[in-house]
């Protein structure tokens, strides 16, 4: 082996082992101090503050909260003034110049607990609005995480492609040295040129994918599509502990999908109770001071009850409310089944992705790198042909890309679990 070939050989080995796609699996991300986009948490925080759909749903929830405060309020009282005995020859409408003036104040009182039920309904509607806001936030966050992972995958794949361009350029120098010394055919150089062209083509495609991923992220963040985003630094590390039974308990207790349906059941139940109480009349009380001349000389009192004659209509209203309650309960069971099934599927897929990452990282990638090292050494000494060397180099590249794909899949499955939970892990 010539001195020049030995230097190229060492440079090639250094290039292979110096950069690894596992940079995305650091223990914890550093605090963000640069422009937007380096870490997915920055994007989530931005979306949480600036996404118009989330803002609209939060305002709707706040509006429902305000209704809770007035739901059990009485209707405004009614004031009535009656002028009696107006002189037709001298129509003076002054209260002291007519026979009598009657002032009436009326106030309606829903009884039988109707006001409490209206307040409970308003409170349940507020809870439902908050849960719907949480669903929208969880789904938007899941979309942003997936888009960020695609952005990261395109960037890392492009880096791997550039590293392979440099590696092939180094191998070209080795092949040229062997060709000059008459120990390698010209076909080796031609094959290298073909490989260089393929790698440059791949690099152009990956750079285009990065551009598209950046555009998708900006649109999700409610930013101009051409707004600047820095290169993504890393994917999120997995939580230290992922226990399926514990997470499923959190799912049942906190999932916004289930919370929404629980609120709908409460609304339907309170409406059914209110429909039952609507069989009984409300009361209206009134008091009327009567003025004659310049003084009040008598008082009237009034009790008004609306007679509930149309009980058939109220029975239909009660049946309708009962059916609405049954429908809400059926939907709750259906949603519960869907959520639990989706959670188990996502959690199992997350476990499979973790195993795949571990296998690629700890076994296949080291083995492929050793294979390339051996093939490069064999080519230097003339024991292996150039095709075997390129195959070994291709195996390293593909294994690194498979590891990158597995890491992105792992991140996507984690995002799906978090979406169903409605919270970050």
Q: What is the mean pLDDT of residues 155-180?
A: 72
Is 325 strand, coil or helix? helix
Residue with tokens 């999908």: 257
- CA pair distance 270, 289, nearest whole angstrom: 40
Q: How many helices (H) and strands (E) does the chain have?
A: 10, 4
Q: What is the DSSP letter of 29?
A: P
24 and 216 Cβ atoms separated by less than 8 Å = no
Strand partners, 101: 83, 291
Q: What pLDDT, on the 0 to 100 scale, is given for residue 183? A: 57
Q: What is the mean pLDDT of residues 26-37?
A: 48
pLDDT in tens, 256-311: 888 888 888 888 888 888 888 888 888 889 998 888 888 888 888 888 887 777 76
296 and 290 Cβ atoms separated by less than 8 Å = yes
**Average model confidence (pLDDT) for the chain?**
79
- CA pair distance 286, 301, nearest whole angstrom: 6
Q: What is the DSSP letter of 24?
A: G
Query: Would you tell me the crossing angle of helices 244-254 and 256-277 to the nearest 10 degrees?
Result: 40
Q: Provide the percentage of residues in the chain whose pLDDT is more than 70.
A: 84
pLDDT in tens, 116-128: 888 888 888 888 8
Beta strands in 9-116 (DSSP E): 78-84, 100-109
Q: Lowest mean pLDDT: which of 8-12, 309-313, 350-354, 407-411?
A: 8-12
Strand order in the sheet with 283-292: 78-84, 100-109, 283-292, 295-305
**DSSP class per residue in 238-256:** PPS---HHHHHHHHHHH-H
Beta strands in 224-330 (DSSP E): 283-292, 295-305
One of 2.70.70.10, 1.20.1600.10, 1.10.10.10, 3.90.1170.50 is the CATH number of 3-421, namely 1.20.1600.10
In terms of pTM, does the model score above 0.85? no
396 and 148 Cβ atoms separated by less than 8 Å = no
Dig out the tokens for 239 from the structure. 């939580």
Is 349 strand, coil or helix? helix
Q: What is the DSSP letter of 162?
A: H
Q: What pLDDT, on the 0 to 100 scale, is given for residue 240? A: 73
Is 286 strand, coil or helix? strand
Distances (CA, A) of 82 to 85, 103, 286, 329: 10, 7, 14, 53
Residue 377 contacts by C-beta under 8 Å, 6 or more apart in sequence? 9
- CA pair distance 150, 232, nearest whole angstrom: 10
- Give the rounded distance of the alpha carbon of 117 from its chain centre: 33
């Amino acid at each position: 082996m010539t001195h020049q070939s030995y230097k190229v050989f060492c440079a090639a080995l250094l290039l292979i082992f110096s950069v690894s796609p596992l940079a995305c699996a650091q223990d914890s991300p550093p605090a963000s101090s640069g422009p937007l986009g380096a870490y997915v948490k920055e994007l989530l925080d931005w979306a949480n503050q600036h996404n118009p759909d989330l803002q609209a749903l939060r305002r709707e929830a706040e509006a429902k909260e305000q209704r809770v405060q007035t739901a059990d309020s009485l209707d405004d009282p009614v004031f009535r003034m009656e002028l009696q005995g107006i002189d037709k020859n001298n129509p003076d409408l002054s209260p002291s110049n007519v026979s009598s003036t009657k002032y009436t104040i009326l106030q309606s009182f829903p009884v039988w607990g109707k006001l409490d039920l209206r307040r409970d309904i308003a409170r349940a509607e507020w809870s439902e609005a908050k849960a719907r806001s949480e669903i929208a936030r969880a789904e938007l966050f899941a979309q942003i995480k997936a888009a960020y992972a695609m952005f990261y995958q395109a960037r890392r794949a492009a880096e791997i492609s550039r590293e392979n361009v440099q590696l092939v350029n180094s191998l070209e120098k080795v092949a040229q040295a062997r060709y000059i010394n008459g120990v390698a055919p010209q076909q080796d150089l031609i094959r290298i040129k073909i490989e260089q062209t393929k790698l440059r083509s791949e690099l152009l495609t990956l750079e285009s994918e990065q551009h598209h991923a950046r555009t998708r992220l900006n649109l999700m963040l409610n930013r101009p599509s051409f707004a600047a985003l820095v290169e993504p630094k890393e994917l999120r590390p997995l939580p230290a502990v992922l226990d399926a039974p514990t997470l499923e308990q959190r799912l049942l207790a906190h999932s916004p999908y289930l919370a929404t349906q629980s609120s709908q059941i409460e609304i339907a139940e309170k409406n059914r109770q209110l429909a039952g109480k609507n069989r009984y009349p409300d009361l209206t009380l009134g008091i009327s001071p009567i003025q004659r001349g310049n003084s009040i000389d008598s008082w009237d009192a009034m009790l008004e009850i609306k007679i509930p004659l149309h009980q058939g209509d109220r029975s239909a209203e009660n049946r309708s409310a009962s059916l609405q309650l049954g429908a809400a309960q059926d939907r709750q069971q259906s949603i519960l089944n869907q959520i639990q099934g989706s959670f188990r599927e996502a959690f199992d897929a997350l476990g499979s992705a973790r195993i795949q990452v571990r296998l690629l990282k700890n076994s296949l990638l080291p083995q492929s790198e050793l294979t390339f090292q051996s093939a490069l050494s064999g080519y230097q000494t003339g024991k292996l042909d150039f095709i075997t060397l390129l195959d070994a180099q291709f195996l390293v590249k593909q294994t690194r890309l498979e590891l990158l794909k597995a890491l992105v899949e792992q991140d996507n499955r984690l995002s799906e679990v978090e979406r169903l939970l409605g919270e970050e892990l």
